[in-house]
Amino acid sequence: MKLFKWLYPGLKIKRWLVLSIIGILMISIGLTVMLGFEFLGLLEGKLLTFIYSLTGHFSEWLNIIIGLVIMGFGFVFVTYGITKMINSIIEALLPENEEELVELIYQQRHLKRGPEIVVIGGGTGLPTMLRGIKEFTSNITAVVTVADDGGSSGVLRDELNILPPGDIRNCLVSLADTEELMEKLFQYRFKAGEELAGHSFGNLFIATLSKVIGDFEKAVKKSSKVLAIKGRVLPSTLEDIILCAETEGKRIIEGESNISESDERIKEVFLKSGDCNSLPEVIEAIKEADAVVLGPGSLYTSVIPNLLVSDISKAIKESEALKIYNCNIMTQPGETTDYTAADHVQALYDHVGSEIVDYVLVNNEEIPAELLAKYEEEGAKPVEVDFKELESLDINLVEAPLLNKEDLVRHNPHKLAEVIIKLIIKLNEGADQRSLIDLYLRDKYRGS
């Protein structure tokens, strides 16, 4: 029996288990002596006889004192034995992180009580937000586009006939709760080798696993376990889709990577094969969600492709969840040149209808001039927040400082997540979730 494996030699468990049992026995004996129970009649009689031989008489108070002393030793033995057993287990499982275990358990308990959040997108925007969201809740479902056909993902997609793993890999790494080395391993990109150059190890790992298992979806789930992620990552569909775009000049562009590189304004994006089905898990997650969050990320090549899967857009519209769109901070040359915040929202409406969004989050933090200069050279500029147009679209606007002031103009994952969580709590009045804010604010990386 598996139970008896705890008694195997070398586990450093038996001695502390025996000590704990002795302690429990001593507590029982102490109670019998102190209260005069006959639960352990024979042992009690022997003990009382021994006491009489030492003192020459029986005394109720003396019995109480001796009983308390025995119980005290029993409590000490039980506490010490259980503590040593727990330490033996911790030493075996977490030899380098014993001091972090209590904090880890505390955080995990809180994270499991967090809100159910479905995030939808792809590219570099979605992973950025996931890094912040995972500090508040582990009830995360990341729904990722599989329209990518460029770079390493595109090559693997064409040569191995699998779904593109790149965006999924980035989301897995962002949700990872494992050591830093494993994250670096999954993100490592080969720079040399005729066949390997340009491929990331994570892409190759997922691709290989999907061939070994024979199922891309299961390969992603197995990869999730390897990285010990908080939440789960799911492709928006398991069908091999090709994203197409019609420009305002009525030109048809085929392929996600070609759309991204085009300098023509986009009128509409669509799937070449028409509609496709999503995964039942995705639809179920949306139905049960407290919030559905779109973006941030490329509007036409990361966010909208997921919504073109009619099952997903229909489920979002029917869901009672809070529906949030994270508007990009900067325009994207070609895709969203000169787009305002209202233009982004209108594009969502034009493709899938107005019931898709309740709230729009926009940045109101000033962007440093030196960063703006870099983007102006590429034809990008800050997304203008046009209040009147947004009001006419019957949208709820939330302004907040969301900027990550580094080499690139990106959302700060912690700022963005905090705004989203506070909005969910405010609207759902989740008293149990308020402690998540306190836990997050006191965390050591908060000042980063």
What are the tens digits of pLDDT across the range 358-411? 999 999 999 888 888 888 888 899 999 999 999 999 899 999 999 987 778 889
Question: pTM of the full predicted structure?
Answer: 0.77
For position 69, what pLDDT does the model report? Answer: 75
Alpha-carbon distance 224 to 217, whole Å? 11
Query: What CATH number should be reported for the domain whose range is 106-145+236-441?
Result: 3.40.50.10680
Contact at 8 Å (CB) between 235 and 216? yes
Q: What is the mean pLDDT of the chain?
A: 82
For position 376, what pLDDT does the model report? Answer: 87
Is the pLDDT score of 226 beyond 60? yes
For 392, the token pair is 């006419």
Burial status of residue 266 (CB atoms within 10 A of its CB: 0-12, 13-18, 19 or more): buried
Is the pLDDT score of 442 beyond 50? no
How distant is the alpha carbon of residue 163 from its chain centre?
22
Alpha-carbon distance 243 to 273, whole Å? 9
Alpha-carbon distance 445 to 448, whole Å? 5
For 330, the token pair is 């900067």
Beta-carbon contacts of 3 under 8 Å, excluding residues fewer than 6 positions away, are none
Lowest mean pLDDT among 10-19, 238-247, 260-269, 293-302: 10-19
Pairing of strands 359-363, 243-247: unpaired
Q: What is the band of 430 on the pLDDT scale with cuts at 50, 70, 90?
A: very low
**Residue 336 φ then ψ, to 5°:** -135, 40
Q: 196 versus 447: which is more confidently predicted?
A: 196
Q: What is the band of 3 on the pLDDT scale with cuts at 50, 70, 90?
A: very low
Q: What is the mean pLDDT of residues 72-84?
A: 75
For position 58, what pLDDT does the model report? Answer: 53
pLDDT in tens, 82-134: 777 667 666 655 555 544 555 555 566 667 778 899 999 998 889 999 999 99
